[in-house]
Amino acid sequence: MHKLFGFSLSDHSRVFAIALPMIISNIAAPLLGLVDTAIIGHLPNAIYLSAVAIGAMVVSFIYLLAVFLRMATTGYIAQSYGADDIHAQRQHFNNGIVIALSLGVLIAVASPLINELAMWVIAPSAELEGYARDYIEIRLWSAPASLITLVALGVLLGRQNSRKAMLLVIITNAVNVVMDVILILGFGLNVKGAAWASLSAEWVTAIVGFYWTARALGWHLHHWQLKFQQLRQFLGVNGNIFIRSLILQLCMATMTGYATRYGSTMVAVNAVLMQFLMLISLGLDGIAYSVEALAGEAKGQKRYDKIRYWCKITLLWSSLFAVVYALVFALAGSAIIRLITDIPEIIRVAENYLPWIVVLPLIAHWSYWFDGVFIGLSFSRGMRNTMILSALIGFLPLWWAGLPLENHGLWLALSGFLLMRGITQAIWLKYFSSPGHPSE
């Protein structure tokens, strides 16, 4: 048997059969998003682009908080898939759809309240506010569709069908671009056209995703039944991951929000530098998806030796990706900054922060990888508790201590937060989660 780094080539292939399609979708989505932005950006008034940017930020924040649906579904489906229990997979699918529809309808109905809160926080100009409100009001009616898609992605990834998961991401963006051309350029609907285009894309994706997952599970309407004990457990897991996601989003938002105290240039600098974190996630997310599916499958098979095996091989690739990223950022960091912006002042200031960017992948990859392990094994309490600890003993103390350092203090806090996430997750996995633990 041919081996690479001590592992069989076939097992490396299994890792990348899951990781590669998701890496491709991670790359394809922003590229299509650039087309979307370019269409709106070429309208005669810049206020349209600003309104869409504000509206998309609000909607994305809400949907990112709902990513717990994808994570919880992936873990449970992977374990049931490993146990070859199709009935359990259908039940987890039912649970996910019930939560997606309930929460999605609640978000849609509450859209006026969400709009009021968002405008109070952002406080845009009167003209900009009107356009942003229109965008948010329309987009939030796609909430049920977006959450159904998260469940579909969870099922597909849990069943190791990442090719269709990739296609779902690409379908969303491709339909969005086509509808942008029709509604914005064809009918001249500007901001409302952009919102309706995104809404159309999200509903098309939800329908396709539901069909694919139902077909994969052999699911029909007569399989629609709820077992409230399982639903309560599923809700508990989702609640834990929601808290984890909320804390993560708040820490990340601080990097932009608190930077406003140091001037508009520093806000722009951090916006540029945060793109490096996005580049890191392109590869590390793919490896995290692999360990979610493979470790979850091994847990369902009660093969705890295989859990350790898949953890080792995926950690190897996560580490290799991190080293490559660090080398690329060290050698080409300035060139990447210049690709993102051509404003001399922002380039000059951003280059002063490159040492933080070089060490970022070496620190961050642990938390990406551990998230994949915890999701695959359904250790949601561990995800919640380690995130709380990392914010309390990592981010907040370093942010406070780093106030005299201004923006460097923010990057110190972010680096300490990511490092503490890896440390606390490692400790939790070693001392608080036994290999045979069924779930949390």
Q: Residue 337 is which amino acid?
A: I
- Please, what is the average pLDDT of the chain? 90
pTM over 0.75: yes
Decide if 367 contacts 421 (C-beta within 8 A): yes
pLDDT above 50 (res 439): no
In the predicted structure, residue 394 carries a pLDDT above the cut 70 = yes
User: Which residue type is seen at 262?
Assistant: Y
Backbone φ and ψ for 3, nearest 5 degrees, come out as -125, 155
Please tell me the least confidently modeled range out of 164-173, 306-315, 353-362: 164-173
Residue pair 45/127 in contact (Cβ under 8 Å)? The answer is: no
* Residue 438 C-alpha from the chain's centroid: 26
CA distance 124 to 112: 17
pLDDT at 33 over 60: no
Local confidence band at 36 (pLDDT 50, 70, 90 cut-offs): low
As a whole number, mean pLDDT of residues 31-56 equals 72
Q: How many helices (H) and strands (E) does the chain have?
A: 17, 2
pLDDT band at 436 (very low <50, low <70, confident <90, very high): very low
Residue 267: pLDDT band (50, 70, 90) is confident
List helix spans (H) across 66-189.
68-82, 86-109, 111-122, 126-139, 143-158, 162-180
**Surface-to-core class of residue 95, CB atoms within 10 Å of its CB (0-12 exposed, 13-18 middle, 19+ buried):** buried
> pLDDT per residue over 231-247, tens digit each?
888 888 889 999 999 99
The pLDDT, as a whole number, for residue 52 is: 82
Q: In Å, what is the CA distance from 215 to each residue of 209, 218, 231, 289?
A: 10, 5, 22, 22
Write phi, then psi, for 52 (nearest 5 degrees). Answer: -65, -40
Average pLDDT over residues 193-215: 95
d(CA 163, CA 376): 19
Average pLDDT on 213-225 reads 88
Is residue 224 pLDDT above 80, yes or no? Answer: no
Mean pLDDT of the region 252-269 = 80
Q: Residue 438: its pLDDT value, please?
A: 44
Q: With the C-alpha atoms ordered 435, 437, 439, 440, is the resulting torsion angle positive or negative?
A: negative
Which pLDDT belongs to residue 185?
87
Alpha-carbon distance of 377 to 276, in angstroms, equals 29
pLDDT band at 316 (very low <50, low <70, confident <90, very high): very high
C-alpha–C-alpha distance, residues 104 and 63, integer Å: 10
**pLDDT at residue 29 in the model:** 63
Instruction: Average the pLDDT over each of 41-55, 81-95, 236-250 and give the range with the smallest value.
Output: 41-55
- What is the pLDDT, as a whole number, of residue 440? 53
Identify the pLDDT of residue 37. 65
Mean pLDDT in residue range 131-156 = 95
Q: How confident is the model at residue 34 (pLDDT cuts 50, 70, 90)?
A: low
196-222: b (≥16 Cβ within 10 Å) or e: bbbbbbbbbbbebbbebbbebbebeee
pLDDT of residue 434: 57
Place 35 in a pLDDT band, splitting at 50, 70 and 90: low
For residue 310, report the phi and psi dihedrals to the nearest 5 degrees: -65, -35
Query: Given a cut of 90, is residue 228 above it in pLDDT?
Result: no
Which segments of 181-303 does DSSP mark as H helices, in order? 190-217, 228-257, 264-300
Q: Which of 22-36, 249-263, 354-368 has the lowest mean pLDDT?
A: 22-36
Contact present, 321 and 365 (Cβ < 8 Å): yes
**Do the beta carbons of residue 177 and residue 32 sit within 8 Å?**
yes
- Position 385 scores a pLDDT of 96
